[in-house]
Amino acid sequence: MDMLKSLESTKKWIRALTEIAVLLVALSIVAAILFGAEVPFLGGTADVVSRITGIISELGEQGVVGMLALGVILYVFARKDK
């Protein structure tokens, strides 16, 4: 039983860290749009935007496989465990 509590605690930490990472990516995209590529407190914001653009174009070129991968990614981020 103690192992299950430990596993649940680990899952909660990973979920929280993933949410923080997604929020930081969103912050860097907004900062790049508002202030340009050189944002003093977030280095490499232009790289984030170009990487996301590259990922989206890669998924578009892959057709059905890209759509399936996009569906899996959206499922992972949209899923809310209670």
CA–CA distance, 38 with 36 (Å, rounded to integer):
6
Give the per-residue pLDDT at 28: 76
How much of the chain, in percent, has pLDDT values that exceed 90? 0
Q: What token pair was written down for 37?
A: 């590529």
0.85 exceeded by the pTM? no
Give the mean pLDDT of 46-70. 74
Question: CA–CA separation, 48 vs 61, rounded Å?
Answer: 20
User: Is the pLDDT at 65 greater than 60, yes or no?
Assistant: yes
Is the pLDDT at 5 greater than 70? The verdict is: yes
State the pLDDT at residue 7. Answer: 87
Whether 20 has a pLDDT exceeding 60, the answer reads: yes
